[in-house]
Amino acid sequence: MSHQSPTITLHMVSSLDGFIARKNGDVSWMQSTDHYEKGTTLTEEQITTFLQSVDCYVMGSRTYEHALELGWPYGNTPVIVLTNRDLPNKRGTVEFYSGTLQRLLSERLKPHFRNVWVVGGSRLTKDFLQQNLADEIVLSIMPVILGDGLPFFDHIGTERQLHLKDSTAYKDGMVELRYTVQQETSKH
C-alpha cells in the first residue's frame, strides 16, 4: 500500500503534425519504415525494465476497444478503463471506472500505484492536462505527416510550462521527448 500520489505520465505516439490516429482510428502509421543511422534501439532487457516499472495503465474506452482488436500490448499489468458504458471485460487485469479524475486519483490510483501511465486517447489526455493532474508527458513522434486525424493537443485551453527531461532518437526515425509538466500558469 502506498500513500503518496503516484507519478502520472501521459504517453502518446504522434505524427509530426500532432495526430494520434487517422480519422477512422487507424494507427498503422506507427510502424515506421524509416531508418536513422545515428539512432538507438532498446535492448530486450531495457524494454523489460521499462515494462516492469509501470504499475498501472489508464485509458479511455475507445483506446481499450482498439487495443483489444489490435492485440493487447499491456501484458498482465493492471489497466483502468474509463467508461460510462457497461463494457464486456475481456481481460482479468482490467477494471472499469466512471467518475471524476480527482476521485480516480484519490480512491483507485493513490492507494495502490506509484507509476501510472495514461495512454490515451485524445479526450482523456486532454482531461488530465486541463485538470492539472499530469506530472510528465512522453511524446513519441513518428516520421510522418498525416494531414488530418485525431489531434493530441486540441485547444486544451490552458497554458503549461514544460521542462525537457530527456530526448532520444531511435533507429526507426521515432523521436521520444520526455517532459515534466510545471504548475499551471494561466487559463484562457
Ligand X SMILES: NC(=O)c1ccc[n+]([C@@H]2O[C@H](COP(=O)([O-])OP(=O)(O)OC[C@H]3O[C@@H](n4cnc5c(N)ncnc54)[C@H](OP(=O)(O)O)[C@@H]3O)[C@@H](O)[C@H]2O)c1
Kindly list the residues in this chain that would bind ligand X in the complex (CB under 6 A). Answer: 12-13, 20-21, 25, 27, 59-63, 66, 82-85, 98, 101, 119-124, 127, 150
By C-beta, is 83 or 115 nearer to ligand X?
Answer: 83
Residue nearest to ligand X (CB): 121
CA distance 8 to 12: 13
Pairing of the two strands 56-60 and 94-97: unpaired
How much of the chain is in helix, strand and coil states, percent to nearest 5? 20, 35, 45
Burial (CB < 10 A; 0-12, 13-18, 19+), residue 135, is: middle
Q: How far is the CB of 133 from ligand X (least distance, A)?
A: 11
- Residue 30 C-beta: closest distance to ligand X, Å: 7
C-alpha cell at 101: 479524475
Supply the minimum distance, in Å, between the C-beta of residue 77 and ligand X. 16
For ligand X, the closer CB: 47 or 161: 47
Which CB, 9 or 61, lies closer to ligand X? 61
- Measured CA to CA, the distance from residue 116 to residue 135 in angstroms comes to 10
Report the residue number, 161 or 168, with the smaller CB distance to ligand X: 168
